[in-house]
Amino acid sequence: MEGKMKQAVMTGLKKVELRETAIPVPKDNEVLVKIEYVGICGSDLHYYESGRIGDFIVELPFVLGHEASGVIVEAGKKVTNLKPGDRVALEPGKTCGECEFCRQGKYNLCEDVVFFATPPVDGVFQEYVVHEAALCFKLPENMTTVEGALIEPLAVGFHAAIQGEAKIGQTAVVTGAGCIGLVSLLALKAMGVSKVIVVDIMENRLKKALELGADAVINGKEADTSAKILELTGKRGCDLSIETAGSEVTAAQLIKVSKKGAVVVFVGYSPSGTMTLPIGMALDKELTFKTIFRYRNIYPLAIEAVSSGKANIRNIVSNYYELDHIQEALTDCVGNKAEIVKGVVKVS
């Protein structure tokens, strides 16, 4: 398919402009996807605002965005599982397939991963993208491409819940009610967890958590979080917790309110990359700490959860934007975190 397309290009800190570039051509094992929606991720905002996340440093010009869905318009010669007209969710990371982690099925730990919008790899805030067919997952008829774009963060939530061995009968606590905290809530409920308590300091996000099925919420600014969790659990504490805030305070609280033998899953990155935690208390309780990095083998499960109605992912979105207004979209999401829970960009 020949022609030109719009592409949103980061040209400086907090600066994005629309440019025109050639529509890419798929290789034999790739498909050309006309992008319809792209979610705005916290990592996009970090790169937009500060130009880096840890050792990943933006080299300008750079294209953000990795939570994508769209419609296939062209398929490579060797592609047999997809055809033009299919609506797909794109898993953004291509791995080597040969290292020890890939061979073990833990491909998210591959050191040679090529991941959309992770420097130096450009992302998908653009009208068309080519991607490996094996990383494009067909959406059922009862799913929209808005939901398809949200499968990527939902996969993170499911990976956290699976690492924590979530199951019916448990009481779980999620700290942080941003996008990842909310998708963790959805995953926990979809997996049958009986009671989920969500903690945050932004009232708008706590309201969204209740809309999405939280059994109780706690505003950490207004209440003694640990005391409230113990009250809500009849002083028994929680069986499982997922820490998405990246906060030393909330991480310590989870250790304090965990039952003996409970599991704590760490998802959020602290700004400094380090935390000082009450390890003596964790030892006394024989707690299990788990961590996650992205996800693996989750997309089919996440799509099924949405299609079957077990995960109401669409309602996580609070704000929609057009690609032509991408500068406004990113600036809003950076500057208005108290009100904007999840932004999504409509590309076409």
Q: Same domain, yes or no, for 15 and 137?
A: yes
- Say which CATH number the domain at 226 has: 3.40.50.720
Please choose, from the candidates 260, 261, 299, 60, the residue with its C-alpha nearest in 3D space to the C-alpha of residue 156.
299
Q: How many CB atoms lie within 10 A of CB 77?
A: 10
Please choose, from the candidates 164, 133, 149, the residue with its C-alpha nearest in 3D space to the C-alpha of residue 289.
164
Backbone φ, ψ for residue 275 (5° rounding): -145, 145
Q: Same domain, yes or no, for 163 and 114?
A: no
Question: Do the domain assignments include residue 250?
Answer: yes
Show Cβ contacts of residue 152 under 8 Å, excluding neighbours closer than 6 positions. Answer: 39, 41, 66, 67, 68, 89, 90, 91, 92
Question: Do the domain assignments include residue 298?
Answer: no
Q: Same domain, yes or no, for 15 and 126?
A: yes
Question: Do the domain assignments include residue 300?
Answer: no
Question: Do the domain assignments include residue 261?
Answer: yes
Helix 151-163 and helix 299-307, axial crossing angle in degrees, nearest 10: 110
Q: Same domain, yes or no, for 115 and 190?
A: no
pLDDT in tens, the chain (348 residues): 889 999 999 999 999 999 999 999 999 999 999 999 999 999 999 999 999 988 899 999 999 999 999 999 999 999 999 999 999 999 999 999 999 999 999 999 999 999 999 999 999 999 999 999 999 999 999 999 999 999 999 999 999 999 999 999 999 999 999 999 999 999 999 999 999 999 999 999 999 999 999 999 999 999 999 999 999 999 999 999 999 999 999 999 999 999 999 999 999 988 888 999 999 999 999 999 999 999 999 999 999 999 999 999 999 999 999 999 999 999 999 999 889 999 999 999
3 state SS of 80: coil
Residue 273 is predicted with a pLDDT of 84
User: By residue range, what is the domain housing residue 101?
Assistant: 4-150+317-346
Q: Same domain, yes or no, for 70 and 129?
A: yes
Peptide bond into 271 cis (omega under 30): no
Rounded distance between C-alpha atoms, residue 122 and residue 168, angstroms: 41
Q: Same domain, yes or no, for 144 and 267?
A: no
Question: Do the domain assignments include residue 262?
Answer: yes
Question: Do the domain assignments include residue 110?
Answer: yes
Q: Same domain, yes or no, for 233 and 137?
A: no
Question: Do the domain assignments include residue 297?
Answer: no
Q: Same domain, yes or no, for 9 and 99?
A: yes
Choose the final residue of a domain: 275, 291, 307: 291
For the chain, the domain total comes to 2
3-state helix, strand, coil in the chain (%, to 5): 30, 30, 40
- Say which CATH number the domain at 142 has: 3.90.180.10
Residue 1 is predicted with a pLDDT of 83
Rounded distance between C-alpha atoms, residue 127 and residue 246, angstroms: 33
Backbone φ, ψ for residue 252 (5° rounding): -65, -40
Choose the final residue of a domain: 252, 273, 291: 291
Distance of CA 141 to the CA centre of its chain: 23
Q: Same domain, yes or no, for 237 and 339?
A: no
Question: Do the domain assignments include residue 228?
Answer: yes
Q: Same domain, yes or no, for 223 and 105?
A: no
Q: Same domain, yes or no, for 225 and 255?
A: yes
